[in-house]
Amino acid sequence: MDPNLKDSYSTNEVLRCIHIGLLCVQEYANARPSMASIVLLLNSYSVTLPLPQQPPFLARSRTELDQFTSQAMAFSNEDKVELEANDRRRDFSHEACQDSCAISSASNITANINSIPMLNVTNFKTWHENLQIVLGVMDLDIALRVSSLAPLTDESSSDEKRDIERWEKSNRMCLMIIKKAIPEAFRGTISKTIKTAKEFLEEIKNRFAKNEKSETSRLLANLISMRYKGNGNIREYIMEMSHLASKLRAHKLDLSEDLLVHLVLISLPT
């Protein structure tokens, strides 16, 4: 460890970073985690890290390399048969590891998407924050950060073609994930002319702003118009008024305690 760090680090975090680093230098590229998986592994300690395979290149001294070369040239047929058997076992182990990693990755993606709450008229802020975090961790948020890219031409480079493919995948996946996290009845109210995830999210935001103002007005009107008619427990009646005031606070309309007491008093029979 760097001596400049002294005691300003967690041993468990250091070991986890080393473990993830070993996963990134495995011999087979398919066994290495993607960037999105690495971000998830670094930020979520609930994900169990798979056992890394031995790195393909190990540092050896010149003498060790010479000895290894001599031994390799002296292999008998039996040694070669044994080596081929070991290679088959390693390939089988690698395929099993790939299957395990694929299952783990699919489970993580499902868990991330399911962590986004269903949108309603009162939770847009929380919903929006969760959506951005999940899409960012999955490395799919480029379509929300960039409206669109210039169309390809005959002179477009391979990098530009790759960027277009990445943006289109991000836009397609963002739309699917966003639509899954909003009520089905609400999906049909969005114009079918909207083709990008950024425009789709902006339309939801505009609709929500209108709904939020409407909901705030409705709650405030209900609170002001409440009157106790002598039915039921008066304590429960006052708690109901307090509950409406709490809902208004969630909509950033904070009523002072004095005003709430005043509304309670004028709602009681004289």
Q: Tell me the pLDDT of the chain (270 aa) as tens digits.
A: 667 766 677 777 888 888 888 888 887 777 788 887 787 777 776 667 788 876 665 544 455 545 545 554 554 445 455 556 655 665 555 555 555 554 555 677 778 888 888 888 777 888 888 898 888 888 888 888 887 888 888 888 888 888 899 999 999 999 999 988 888 877 777 777 888 999 988 888 887 766 666 777 778 888 888 888 887 788 888 888 888 888 888 767 788 888 888 888 888 887
Cβ-based neighbours of 163, under 8 Å, separated by 6 or more: 149
H or E element, residue 95: helix 77-114
Whole-number pLDDT of residue 87: 59
CA-to-CA separations, 102 to 72, 109, 184, 210, 222, in angstroms, rounded:
36, 11, 30, 43, 53
Whole-number pLDDT of residue 76: 45
Cβ-based neighbours of 45, under 8 Å, separated by 6 or more: 16
CA distance 135 to 262: 46
> Percentage helix, strand, coil, to 5, in the chain?
65, 0, 35
Whole-number pLDDT of residue 59: 44
Whole-number pLDDT of residue 49: 78
